Amino acid sequence: MATGSVWQVTREKQHYFDLLASTWDKGMAAEVLSGLGNIVEEVGIVPGSRVVDLGSGTGVLLPFLISQLGNEGKIIALDFSAAMLREAKARNFPALVSFVQADVHEIPLADNCIDLAICNNAFPHFVDKGRALKEIARILREDGRLVICHTMSWERINNLHRSLGGVVASDLIPEKSILQGLIAKARLEVVRFEDSEQRYLVVARKVTRSFMVEKFLRLDAIYGNSYQSQTNNRR
């Protein structure tokens, strides 16, 4: 997709979510909240971590993240919808939470500064998923993790968006192998994948340089010198 059209679709979605902001929390069932609490707990967030909630909306995830961090660390709630962030700010979260209005395709954060990036119910809406994943990988420190989560199955999420129609009709999560390919291209590695009635959960970690070297050595062991000399010849 050309950059111009990404920008245009992104603007349309921004408007769509602005309109939903004031009623967003009304649709939040208790079982959804408890499912989210479980996910955040299982992911294992270390107190003192720097966490970014990508597509944070009205801040549904924030209480769970705060309780894991125990007031140590930092949470950045990032969303491109000003109205969603306004709702979140009105909830008066403690000072470890800050808010950033930005597009996930161009995250205004430094390289390697985040321990955990989490996207609840937001990833399908990212217009250029490959580019978003590369941006997320850029801000993660080595070994930092990305969590993509939903409290329903892959099939239900995609059917829900198809049935909503309009600007979100094609906001689908790619099938597993395609998503894994996009994640790998961003220099992330899937370490956990779950797709059940209750949840869709992907955890990926930023691959370290030594991991890349190990991978290269493994290829070398399989293909022998031919792999190395072919690679050298290409230089």
Give SS3 for 228: helix
Give the separation between CA 227 and CA 234, rounded to whole angstroms: 11
Tell me if 17 contacts ligand SAM by CB under 6 A: yes
Tell me if 56 contacts ligand SAM by CB under 6 A: yes
What is the per-residue binding string for ligand SAM in 91-130, x denoting contact by CB under 6 A? ------------xxx--------------xxx--xx----
Give the separation between CA 209 and CA 194, rounded to whole angstroms: 27
Residue 144 Cβ vs ligand SAM, minimum distance, rounded to whole Å: 19
Binding-residue total with ligand SAM (CB under 6 A): 19
Q: Which one of residues 68, 69, 76, 79 is an interface residue with ligand SAM (CB under 6 A)?
A: 79
Residue 153 phi, psi dihedral angles, 5° rounding: -75, 165
Structure tokens of 180?
């894994």
Element (H, E) at 50: strand 50-54
Nearest CB to ligand SAM, comparing residues 123 and 207: 123
Q: Which one of residues 43, 51, 69, 84 is an interface residue with ligand SAM (CB under 6 A)?
A: 84
Residue 122 Cβ vs ligand SAM, minimum distance, rounded to whole Å: 4
Nearest CB to ligand SAM, comparing residues 93 and 126: 126
The CA-CA-CA angle for residues 106, 18, 125, to 5°, reads 50
Tell me if 151 contacts ligand SAM by CB under 6 A: no
Query: What one-character DSSP code corresponds to residue 222?
Result: H
Tell me if 10 contacts ligand SAM by CB under 6 A: yes
Q: Match 């409290």 to its residue by tokens.
A: 151
Nearest CB to ligand SAM, comparing residues 154 and 207: 154
Residue 233 Cβ vs ligand SAM, minimum distance, rounded to whole Å: 41
Q: Cβ contacts of residue 68 below 8 Å, gap of 6+?
A: 40, 41, 45, 47
Nearest CB to ligand SAM, comparing residues 106 and 143: 106
Distances in Å between the Cα of 234 and the Cα atoms of 1, 76, 187, 223, 229 are 30, 42, 21, 16, 9
Q: Cβ contacts of residue 227 below 8 Å, gap of 6+?
A: 219, 220
Q: Which one of residues 43, 52, 60, 186 is an interface residue with ligand SAM (CB under 6 A)?
A: 60
Residues that bind ligand SAM (CB under 6 A): 10, 13, 17, 55-57, 60, 79-81, 84, 103-105, 120-122, 125-126
